[in-house]
Amino acid sequence: MYINGDWVFAASGDKLTTVNPSTGEPIGTAPSANARDVDIAVGAARAAFPAWSGLPQGERNKVLFAIAAKIRENAHDIALVEGEEHGTPYNDAFGACMGAAEKFEWSANAAAALKGDEIPVPAANTLTYVKREPVGVIGFITPWNLPTIMTAVKLAPAIALGNTCVIKPPSINSLTGLKFAHVLSMVEGLPKGVVNFITGSGSVAGAALASHPDVDMIGFTGSSETGKAILASAAPTVKKCVMELGGNNPVLIFPDADIDASLKVLAWRQFNNSGQHCSGPGRYYVHEKVYDEFVSKFAAYAESLKVGDPSDKSVQMGPLVSREHQQKVLGYIDGALAEGARLVTGGVASETGFFITPTVLADCTHGMKAAREEIFGPVAVLIKYTDADDLVALANDSDYGLCAHVWTRDIGAGMKLIGKLHVGAVFINCQMLANEQPWGTSIKESGIGKEGGTYGLLEFTDAKLVCVNYN
């Protein structure tokens, strides 16, 4: 593990094994940290905080630009590790590395522009303003679905603003996390202890990080169930928490929608990264007038995809991340079929590795388990609706509130839905996630706070009120 600028083993000597999801075979081991290791890492981050937070913004920015350059320099190697351990097709993994580098550059530039606010008060000769300061030591528990880019999403703004960090990558992506740490270890100017990586299980290392009394904030992306457990661990010390949790995102296809244009976005998003996207479509409500066309074209797209070895640059979809997750997704498919859904295409699991062919389920109903829960896999759940149905009520009838997708040529009608959809983001005739945009939501069980954009930067600061009488 990477703690205080050194490579160390777990104090206990315990290790965990990671597996290649394309083959099901072990590919390596990583230390399995316990509470003692977490304590050492947090201590290193705490010791590094005063000097790092005290640097002028321009000096920290030089380090962030150096990190971005080093990521680009090593993008090929990072992509190979992510492909082998996570199953990300090479082109996608390489693109994620480029995106990770951009996160550091954008965060540096945005942090330099971040300002406090003067507050007018009804008192003479008094100056009142809010000053933004770094939170302190942040514990990050990163998700397994996008291991490289999500590490950058969390780390870049945090250290840009002067915080120090302890990162626990998901146990099944430990080697990818340590590869990221290796790249950071080669960056000149990054002080020891500013960024520390520990590997281990969520139940031991993750829980110790979430409950550690000297951690000021927790950043987590993952399931709503795990998020609730982390909140419970963080509660005794009332830690600040930013969490992007589960989603079951509704897609509303109106009768006037451009079906071909919608599928270029939705079908790609459904099967990219084997459907393991929090922002991906969860359930499709398709108007009866265009339902058959939508089903047919969606199936054709699914069948056109090349599924296979992620190292093959022509492959468009790799395996799911683990055998456990593969079986979970298959359970949703089987359950939907038992409830009356129609298998249009896909639904086949591989004998070797953790693949599932791109799957389209038609004639689903709103009450099916597959339509109400987060599948997080390459499975499209298609539901026919009529003019008599209350589409907004169906879309909002969920424990989640991450985002919604609307497709219609009537932009006015689409715009009128924005205030009615109880979600944190609405995408009309597109889906765009840029560095400038805030992401995540505090709606329902989909999370707390924001990541990305200026809103996300502010999460990594505390607002300090200053009041001066200058009589």
User: Among all residues, which ones are annotated catalytic?
Assistant: 244, 278
- Per DSSP (E only), the strands in 222-280 are 240-244, 249-253
CB within 8 A of 304, min separation 6: which ones?
none
Q: In this structure, which amino acid lies at residue 50?
A: P
Strands 447-448 and 137-141, how do they pair?
A: unpaired
**Helix runs in 272-418, H state only:** 288-304, 323-338, 369-372, 391-396, 411-417
Strands 404-407 and 195-197, how do they pair?
A: unpaired
DSSP secondary structure letter of residue 257: -
CA distance 107 to 417: 32
Q: How far is CA 441 from CA 64, 99, 152, 221, 426, in A?
A: 27, 22, 19, 12, 12
CA 156-246-422 angle, 5° bins: 100
Q: In this structure, which amino acid lies at residue 14?
A: D
DSSP for 49-115, written as a single string: HHHHHHS-HHHHHHHHHHHHHHHHHTHHHHHHHHHHHH---HHHHHHHHHHHHHHHHHHHHHHHH--
Q: Torsion over CA of 215, 217, 223 and 226, rounded to 10 degrees?
A: 40
The residues facing 405 across adjacent strands are 251, 427
The residues facing 25 across adjacent strands are 20
Closest CA to 317 of 353, 284, 273: 273
Q: Indicate the helix (H) or strand (E) that contains 440.
A: none
CA 152-53-176 angle, 5° bins: 25
CA distance 30 to 149: 21
- Token pair for residue 223? 């399931």
